[in-house]
């Protein structure tokens, strides 16, 4: 039995069927002759405007379809977990108008320069340090941008 995980980018997927096809392609790529694979799939960048697609993924319909297709396979790839993140379009100016909280949040993010202290425990950890390289300036900027995106996704969800 093999445990595996993968991430699917749904940025250009315009329909439920397109996402389903991407999942099937990933599953076929993970298949191992004579072995079972338990697969954890995370779908990133689902368009928040595609409510019908999000509902089908959130309700478990996609997971059921993927599992149904594997029931009779000898060398199966069983999707045991299916998670997703939405790509939420954010207008900073509009959020600042809505609340002082967002104005302070964006000011804090724009002025954030303490990344070295925030990551120091990772770089001081003996096992983690072996797998980490030094962050370039663009890498640091990308890390802050990703953190902002994830934070806003969590704050704006529902």
* Domain layout of the chain by residue ranges: 2-87, 92-156
- Of 60, 34, 44, nearest in space to 5 by CA: 44
Average pLDDT of span 67-78 = 91
Provide the pLDDT for residue 92: 85
Q: Can you tell me whether residue 8 is helix, strand or coil?
A: strand
Mean pLDDT of 122-137: 79
Q: How far is CA 98 from CA 49, 75, 93, 103, 152, in A?
A: 21, 53, 9, 9, 14
DSSP line for 15-53 = SHHHHHHHHHHHHHHH--TT--EEEEEEEEEEETT-HHH
131-136: long-range contacts, CB 8 A cutoff, minimum separation 24: none
- pLDDT band of residue 59 (cuts 50, 70, 90) is very high
Q: What are the tens digits of pLDDT across the range 96-111?
A: 888 899 889 998 888 8
How high is the pLDDT of residue 158?
57
Tokens encoding 32: 């191992």
């Amino acid at each position: 039995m093999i445990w595996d995980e993968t991430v699917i980018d749904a940025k250009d997927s315009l329909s439920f069927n397109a996402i389903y096809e991407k999942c099937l392609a990933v599953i076929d790529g993970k298949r191992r002759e004579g072995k079972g694979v338990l697969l954890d799939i995370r779908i990133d960048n689902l368009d928040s405007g595609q409510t019908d697609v999000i509902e089908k993924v959130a309700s478990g319909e996609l997971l059921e379809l993927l599992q149904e297709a594997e029931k009779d396979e000898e060398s199966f790839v069983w999707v045991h977990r299916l998670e997703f993140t939405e790509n939420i379009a954010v207008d900073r100016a509009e959020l600042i108008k809505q609340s002082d909280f967002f104005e302070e949040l964006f000011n804090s993010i724009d002025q954030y320069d303490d990344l070295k202290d925030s990551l120091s425990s990772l770089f001081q950890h003996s096992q983690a340090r072996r797998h980490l390289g030094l962050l370039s300036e663009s890498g640091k900027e990308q890390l802050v941008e990703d953190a902002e995106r994830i934070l806003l996704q969590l704050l704006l969800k529902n």
